[in-house]
Amino acid sequence: MFVLRRLGGALPTLFAVSLLVFLFVDLIPGDPAQILAGPTASNEEIESIRQFLGLNEPLLTRYGHFLRGIWDPAVATSFRTHRPVVVELAERLPNTLIVSIGGLVIGVVVGTLAGIVSAMRPGGFADAAITVLTLAGISMPIYWLGLLCIWLFAVHLGWLPAAGASTPAHFVLPILVIATRPAAMFSRLVAASLTETMGKDYLDTARAKGLSETRVVLAHALRNSLIAAVSVAGVQFGGMLGGSVVTETVFGIPGVGRLLVDAVSRADYPVIQYAILMFAVFFVVINLVTDLLTQWLDPRTREQERPA
């Protein structure tokens, strides 16, 4: 029932997003017909292209055509390639997911381990070093860090390729770069949560039973500390998908973000609209998964969801 309620609540949100996306994209400067026709095209040729693309139809008719393309992919075609938008997105989506999921996994693992070390050795050298690194990871812009890594590891050292997505090695740099922010945030969040949890009475009971401090932290304290971290992970993953525009542009990865940038420059309205709508669907699914994981980690939330 919880899943059905959340999905039901998401439908109005997705409808509002589809309407806003359609209206905002329609306000983008530039005439798609003129861009496709070229600078030397006559007014008659431009008007013919506008008629072919349906740009002369009323706004409400075009919005209905846009909604129809959601369940009938053959209707939603790119202005430039005349291929179904779903095909364009399907070809690029795997690269975007590889970078985003890879960055999130590495960020979560590294950040959690760093947070545990900081909480178990507060005020020590390791805690100070991790604090400096996390502040740097949160502060540095992704595009600047990406360009720095390209210069160091690709140009200067020659260890990794600078751009592209033809081999697994091409994904190493973008995944490591995009993992810095979630790693930094998870480190601080886990450390703060563990520090607060370490003084709880049930942990003193576990210590009284003879359990080592490491086992007390990993088996008892960490699970409660990860409840807040799960919500942050969902937000970070959504941010990574949205930030794929920057990452894929810096590293030359043919993903959805790069496709979106190209579509904006070419006024390819259908690609822009359906790509943004796809990101909105991802956000809804991510929030749902995050809520389910939170309920699994904290049974008290399940009690709150039950009807009185």
SS3 assignment, position 298: coil
pLDDT digits (tens, 9 = 90+) for 212-235: 667 777 666 676 667 777 777 777
Residue 124, CA distances (Å) to 85, 119, 130, 252, 272 in order: 54, 10, 10, 41, 50
Residue 185, CA distances (Å) to 44, 114, 192 in order: 56, 10, 11
Assigned token pair, 227: 């409840």
63/20 Cα distance (integer angstroms): 11
Q: H or E element: which one contains 111? A: helix 85-120
Assigned token pair, 197: 């949890």
In contact, 162 and 151? CB cutoff 8 Å: no
Task: Identify the band that residue 106 occupies on the pLDDT scale cut at 50, 70 and 90.
Answer: very high
Comparing 10-14, 16-20, 95-99, 227-231, which segment has the lowest mean pLDDT?
A: 227-231
pLDDT (mean) for 58-65:
86
For the chain, the average pLDDT equals 81
pLDDT (mean) for 262-290:
85
In contact, 250 and 105? CB cutoff 8 Å: no
pLDDT digits (tens, 9 = 90+) for 137-189: 888 888 888 899 999 998 988 888 888 888 889 999 999 999 888 888 888 88
Quote the pLDDT of residue 92.
Answer: 92
Quote the pLDDT of residue 95.
Answer: 92
CB under 8 Å to 241, separation ≥6 — which residues? 96, 100, 279, 282, 283
